Structure 1
Amino acid sequence: MFVFDRRRRRGSAGHHRDRRARSRPALSRRPGRGAGARAGLCRSAPDPRPIGAASAGPRLCRAVAGAAAAPGDGARRAAGGSRRLWRRLHRIARHRPDAGAAGAPARRRPRRGRGHVQRQIDPVFLRAEVDYAGAERAGTIVIDSSNKFLYLVQGGGRALRYGIGVGRPGFTWAGVKTISRKAEWPDWTPPGEMLARRPDLPRHMDGGPANPLGARAMYLGSSLYRIHGTNEPYTIGQNVSSGCIRMMNDDVVDLYDRVHVGTKVVVR
């Protein structure tokens, strides 16, 4: 009986202890550390760096180990511990300026140099009714190229003023023209001179929001010049065109409805 009992105890308790020992993952301890900061936990925990703390170092390791070793007595405490852990990880990552997502490229500052175009419209170029002291008759369009304004004379010493974009250096001009044709959402066919300078341009583009002529166009005499809208409103107030007069789409629609074919246009 004694031998039988001994075997029974060895075959039951000892056998199960061996099975539990074999199935339990080995956790290596760091010398001089308590159970709450096992090196195995730090090494086996998922790498927290992709969330934005690529170089947070031992602080993240200690945070993961401390959260894993914290006692949890229910789903509520476990959920609260997880939230506190992630808040701590993100707080550590946020306060490290050199910590970024693993493999993410560094953020670059926008380069500003020659040819940079300001992306905001100066409020001075918004449409307004102003005093006007010129001698032109009411209904005349006067273009002040140097100051980037177009005036529609109203009479009585008043005029509607619009902000415009004008020709680049070498493409400015002056003279007197008349509106020979008007078009809504005009097609665009670049002239041969422009294609020679810019062979990458399309040979023809149908009218629409992506068309450089914008919502309206008023053609000046038999020349290649037009007063037209634009799909680049941030160029208003700039020397950017090949000689045409650019307006914001809302402004060119307003002017289009106020003038007619035969209107005199004075360009200074």
Structure 2
Amino acid sequence: MHRPAALPALVLAALLAIAAAPALAQSWRSTPTETLRIEDQPGYEPTADEEQLSPALQRQMVFFRTTEPPGTIIVHTSERFLYVVQGNNRALRYGIGVGRDGFQWQGLKSIVRKAEWPDWTPPPEMIERQPYLPRFMAGGPGNPMGARALYIGGTVYRIHGTNQPQTIGHAVSSGCFRLVNADVMDLYERIPVGTKVVVKQAPEL
């Protein structure tokens, strides 16, 4: 009986590669590299406040070395960036507005409360400096606290949104860290109460 000749090794390798292609494609799709870049998500359309940000200040995944565990918030005041550690030398970076001269600070804190469309009650020290401020303002689009707030324990400061997106990247606040509303809403969904917050004046060299 005549036996068919064995397939050449090159042809056999090609057939095996074709058979494995679906599995390899699925493996690639599930790899968590750059998946948090909002601009890469299907159907994404930037909001008006995001469009006002320079590319450097827009939310993006970056290379970031730290010994802090994933989920930690790290603020570099001098850089005007807030990082959420992702592990594997990666972090999700947000452009922020920071405290003006005399109102910058550093320390190790945690998130103790979260609020959607928070009310604003300026603390007494702010009222003393700016007596024209309202004593209370209900949450909403016109509120300077923006769409979300994360309250930093042991301080009067917050990580919050803003109705002035043009201030992102600048030192303008009384010590709070502000993000455009689209970014603070994204951050709000990622960060649970109890999250560690590390505030630094400058990045480590």
Using the size of structure 2 for normalisation, the TM-score is: 0.72
Structure 1 residue 264 corresponds to structure 2 residue 196: yes
1:216, distance to aligned residue in structure 2 (A): 0.3
Q: In 1, distance between residues paired with 2:119 and 2:54? A: 29
Partner of 2:57: 125
Unaligned stretches of 5+ residues in structure 2: 1-51, 201-205
Letter in 2 for 1:171: F
> Per the alignment, in what secondary structure is the counterpart of residue 74 of structure 2?
strand
1:121, distance to aligned residue in structure 2 (A): 2.9
- Higher gyration radius (CA): 1
| Superposed CA RMSD | 1.2
Unaligned stretches of 5+ residues in structure 1: 1-119
Aligned equivalent of 1:211, options 135, 143, 147: 143
CA offsets 1:157-215 (integer angstroms, 9 cap, x no match): 11100000000000000001100000000000011111111111111000000000000
Aligned equivalent of 1:248, options 180, 183, 192: 180
Using the size of structure 1 for normalisation, the TM-score is: 0.55
Partner of 1:172: 104
Runs of 4+ in 1 over 3 A off after TM superposition: none
Partner of 2:157: 225
Letter in 2 for 1:201: L
Q: In 2, distance between residues paired with 1:176 and 1:131? A: 22
> Per the alignment, in what secondary structure is the counterpart of residue 83 of structure 2?
strand
Structure 1 residue 139 corresponds to structure 2 residue 71: yes
Letter in 1 for 2:56: V
1:239, distance to aligned residue in structure 2 (A): 0.2
Q: In 2, distance between residues paired with 1:256 and 1:189? A: 20
1:122, distance to aligned residue in structure 2 (A): 2.3
Q: In 2, distance between residues paired with 1:197 and 1:122? A: 32
1:133, distance to aligned residue in structure 2 (A): 1.0
Letter in 2 for 1:223: T
Residue pairs, 1:49-60, within 5 angstroms:
none
Letter in 2 for 1:194: M
Q: In 2, distance between residues paired with 1:122 and 1:196? A: 35
Structure 1 or 2: more helix by fraction: 1
> Per the alignment, in what secondary structure is the counterpart of residue 130 of structure 1?
strand
Partner of 1:159: 91
Q: In 2, distance between residues paired with 1:122 and 1:250? A: 15
Letter in 2 for 1:131: F
- Give identity over the alignment, percent: 62
CA offsets 1:43-81 (integer angstroms, 9 cap, x no match): xxxxxxxxxxxxxxxxxxxxxxxxxxxxxxxxxxxxxxx
